[in-house]
Amino acid sequence: MCRCLKVSHSGYYDWEKRSPSTRQIDNERLLKRIREIHEDSNGAIGVPRMHEDLRETGETASKNRIARLMASAGLQGWPRKKKRGRYHTPVVVPADVQNQLQRDFKALEPEQKWVTDITELKTGEGKLYLCVVIDLFSKLVVGWSMHHRQDRQMVIRAVEMAVWQRQESNHVILHSDRSSQFRSTDYQRFLKENALVCSMSAVGHCGDNAACEGFFGVLKRERTNRMRYPTMDAAKADLFNYIERFHNPRMRKRIARRDMEFQLFSNRP
């Protein structure tokens, strides 16, 4: 074999007995951590989110290094499905409703800015609709509801859940698109009764509600696009598991880590 590869016998035996390098040992340690995170996400997380999660735990590995390790182990994320364009028809919104966010999705404190939207999922029994309310400060899903019809009551239940968990009584901006559910009289009345300031996107501008659209994109890429739900109950159980047992705990860990880093920084002399 050495003659065929033109390698000296002594060089081969030296390589065979050589101890693993520091870089190799660190790669094995990092790959073990990558496997744990990948398995915890049910095989959904790709290189960008893997890099983000590792960085938050103190790892300094680059994206290229993580990509090489994941490729060598046969690990990859779940790709996003392409969507067709949609045609939008003009709609009329209440005269006092404006776009309060103007695509500024940063919040300096909790219960300052919320976003909400509806998405649909396919099941063996028909379509299931999911409405969520997300706090832009923590990225927590503070309210959600599911139903086989996307009516105004489903939307109100999601917002009601968020209001029920609210710690303060100050006004909160609640941003949505211009769907009929959000323009309904019952929905608008509910917002006013609970100190919520209605904000709406422009017609045909999905980027105006990019924070909520982004959550739905991640949800479908990481979970629902890979699943086949025979019943609506099966879909509801899986969505509950994703929101309350995967997404929200993950966001709470980020908040705790961010608070700890802020305290350490503020205590510096």
- What's this model's pTM, rounded to 2 decimal places? 0.68
Tell whether 249 and 161 lie within a shared domain.
yes
- Helix ranges restricted to H, 120-247: 152-165, 180-183, 185-193, 210-222, 232-242
pLDDT of residue 103: 87
Q: Which range of residues forms the domain containing residue 52?
A: 2-73
Q: Both 231 and 119 in a single domain?
A: yes
Q: Tell me, what's the pLDDT at 222?
A: 85
Q: What is the CATH number of the domain that holds 136?
A: 3.30.420.10
Q: Could you tell me which residues come within 8 angstroms of residue 54 by beta carbon, excluding any fewer than 6 positions away?
A: 30, 33, 34, 37, 61, 66
| Mean pLDDT (10-residue bins), the chain, 269 residues | 85 79 86 84 78 81 88 78 53 71 89 94 93 94 93 93 87 90 91 92 80 91 90 94 92 82 67
Are residues 21 and 119 located together in one domain of the fold?
no
DSSP reduced 3-state for 74:
coil
| pLDDT reported for residue 1 | 85
Coil/strand/helix, residue 62:
coil
Neighbours of 183 (CB within 10 A): 19
pLDDT at 60: 84
Residue 175 lies in a domain: yes
The whole-number pLDDT of residue 166 equals 87
Q: Check residue 23 and give its pLDDT.
A: 85
- The tally of domains found in the chain comes to 2
Are residues 68 and 120 located together in one domain of the fold? no
| pLDDT (0 to 100) of residue 88 | 47
Within a domain: residue 255? Answer: yes
Residue 82, in any domain of the structure? no
Which of 21, 50, 73 marks a domain boundary?
73
Question: First CA to last CA across the chain, in angstroms?
Answer: 64
